[in-house]
Amino acid sequence: MRELHPTRKTELKFNLLVNDLASACNDIRLSEYGMAFLDKLVGVKLTYSLARKAAEKSCAIFNEEAKIPGVASKVGTPLAHATAHFESFLYFIMSALDILASITVYFYPKHQKALSKSPYFKDQMAKTFLKHPNISREYAAMLSKNRQWIEDVANNRDGLAHRASAFLAFEKDGSVVFERRKPFDDRDPARKKEFEDLVKYLRGTIENLYGFVDAYVLVHRKMVKTSARTTMMLKSLEKGLVKEYAP
pLDDT in the model for residue 116: 80
Q: Quick one: what percent of the chain has pLDDT higher than 90?
A: 78
Strand partners, 214: none
93 compared with 246, residue with greater pLDDT? 93
Could you read off the pLDDT of 12-31 as tens digits, one per residue? 999 999 999 999 999 989 99
- Domain that includes residue 145, residue range: 2-244
pLDDT in the model for residue 49: 98
**Is the Cβ–Cβ distance between 71 and 65 less than 8 Å?**
yes
**Is the Cβ–Cβ distance between 170 and 176 less than 8 Å?**
yes
Instruction: Tally the domains of the chain.
Output: 1
Q: Is the pLDDT score of 202 beyond 80?
A: yes
Strand partners, 176: 170
The pTM of this model reads 0.93
23-27, 53-57, 110-114, 190-194: which is most confident: 53-57
DSSP labels for 15-62? HHHHHHHHHHHT-HHHHHHHHHHHHHHHHHHHHHHHHHHHHHHHHHHH
Q: Is the pLDDT score of 139 beyond 70?
A: yes
User: With bands split at pLDDT 50, 70 and 90, how would you rate the model's confidence at 247?
Assistant: low
Phi, psi (rounded to 5 degrees) for 2: -145, 170
User: With bands split at pLDDT 50, 70 and 90, how would you rate the model's confidence at 2?
Assistant: confident
DSSP labels for 155-188? HHHHHHHHH----EEE-TTS-EEEE---TTGGG-
User: What's the distance, CA 94 to chain centroid?
Assistant: 7
pLDDT in the model for residue 151: 96
2 half-sphere exposure, CB direction, 13 A CA radius: 6
The answer to which of 112-121, 140-149, 161-170, 225-234 has the lowest mean pLDDT is 112-121
User: With bands split at pLDDT 50, 70 and 90, how would you rate the model's confidence at 113?
Assistant: confident
The span from the CA of 162 to the CA of 118, in Å, is 21
Burial 65-89 (b: 16+ CB within 10 A, else e): beeeeeeeeebeebbebbbebbbbb
SS3 88: helix
Q: Quick one: what percent of the chain has pLDDT higher than 70?
A: 98
- Mean pLDDT for the chain? 93
The span from the CA of 133 to the CA of 242, in Å, is 37
